[in-house]
Amino acid sequence: MFYSWQSLSLFDTWHANVKEMLGIPYPGRNARTGEIDEDAQWTDAYTNPVIVSQTDVRAFVEDEIAVRFPDGLGVPTSPPIAIDDD
Amino acid sequence: MPTTWINPFVEFDPLDLAPVLWLDADDLSTITSSSNNVSQWNDKSGNGYHVSQSTGTAQPKTGTVTRNGRNVIDFDGTGDYLIRTTATGIGRNVTGMTVYIVAKHDSQTDNSTPIATSSGTSTASNRFFIYLSGSSPSATMTAQGRTLDSDSAQATTSSAGSFADVWTTQVVVYDYADTALYQYIDGTLNGSNTAFQTATTSSNTNSLRLTVGINHALATAALMDGQIAEILVYHSAHSATTRASVYEYFKQKWDV
């Protein structure tokens, strides 16, 4: 489900806490596959936020993460609408 | 000389230990409902920390499910929860706290929070919350909390198990003075964190939000799918002897 934060800063605070608690990104591990890869570069996001507006920053959060890390979690919301570049 | 007999079977009354919160689904006089939909569940502790729900589609059910012949409150997992948005003194300026929950989770795959309350400084931060996450047979029960509002939350998680469709008594002991957090499932220690917070009393601030059937962030993923029979919260870290008295009370009442 998607959640909305009132600022990117609030999202970053929540996101940083989740990453710290989960111990991610995992050093030396391919973020996409989870396999050990000593050449893997550091990733900087566990979930990518979409800035709908200055006060509406949305990101998809898996249910288990929302249950385990509600401190600072945003408000449930609909997915952001994708705008096609024609 | 007459013989004085002492009755060993003194019945336990939750009020004997002065609970800070007592929600009892078996006491129908504490439940306000219409067509089985619960709009309010009253706190029997005397503190008046009632939880309620004004949105009809989000009201849990009463009078539809029983346990040991007694009424329980049924949450549908898709929208039902109860909430108190005015401040409570739960967890305020105490050296410990013990939370008892008699409940059943219906789903084989469940993420749900029977009870949560926010810290005194922000509804975004928990004072304590207790939840089930994952999927059976690998679901786990976790308790989180913090001593001071400024602390980081600490947690303890049970071993993985199958908690779906089985009545359990979950007890969490927050011992702020000894920096310890203990979780008991059906009387057995199942999770502990002995590095819990700092050795002090909790923040001298009211809790800002109390929720039943969802977490304090009102995350829909945390909606409970199951039934709650009874919740008791005490402002002390209960000993094994005290917990045994409460277990016996629950056993006689709910057959758990």
- What averages of pLDDT result for each successive group of 10 residues across chain B (256 residues)? 48 93 98 98 98 98 98 96 96 97 86 91 92 85 94 92 91 95 96 85 95 95 95 97 96 96
Confidence of residue A42 (pLDDT cuts 50, 70, 90): very low
For residue A63, give the nearest of B124, B153, B221 by CB distance.
B221
Tokens 């002492």 locate to B6
SS (H, E, C) chain B: CCCCCCCCCCCCCHHHHCCCEEEECCCHHHEEEECCEEEEECCCCCCCCCEECCCHHHCCEEEEEEECCEEEEEEECCCCCEEECCCECCCCCCCEEEEEEEEEECCCECCEEEEEEECCCCCCCEEEEEEEECECCCEEEEEEECCCCCCCCEEEECCCECCECCEEEEEEEEECCCCEEEEEECCEEEEEECCCCCCCCCCCCCECCEEECCCCCCCHHHCCEEEEEEEEEECCCCCHHHHHHHHHHHHHHHCC
Rg (CA), chain A: 14
3-state secondary structure of A54: coil
Confidence of residue A26 (pLDDT cuts 50, 70, 90): low
* pLDDT tens digits, one per residue of A50-84: 999 999 999 999 988 999 999 999 999 999 886 55
Kindly state the DSSP code that residue A36 receives in the 8-state scheme.
B
For residue B131, give the nearest of A67, A72, A75 by CB distance.
A67
How does strand B70-76 pair with strand B225-234?
antiparallel
B133 to A73: CB separation less than 8 angstroms, yes or no:
no
Chain B contact for A39 (CB, 8 A cutoff): no
A72 to B124: CB separation less than 8 angstroms, yes or no:
yes
Query: Under a CB-based contact definition with an 8 Å cutoff, are residues B91 and B201 in contact?
Result: no
B219 to A68: CB separation less than 8 angstroms, yes or no:
no
3-state secondary structure of A47: coil
Position B135 scores a pLDDT of: 79
Provide the number of CB pairs (under 8 Å) joining chain A to chain B: 52
Residue type, B162: S
What pTM was estimated for this model as a whole?
0.89
Confidence of residue A35 (pLDDT cuts 50, 70, 90): low
A71 to B124: CB separation less than 8 angstroms, yes or no:
yes
Which chain B residues are closer than 8 Å to A64 by Cβ?
111, 133-134, 221
Task: Report d(CA B89, CA B101) in Å as an integer.
Answer: 19
- Closest among B9, B198, B213 to B131, alpha carbons compared: B213
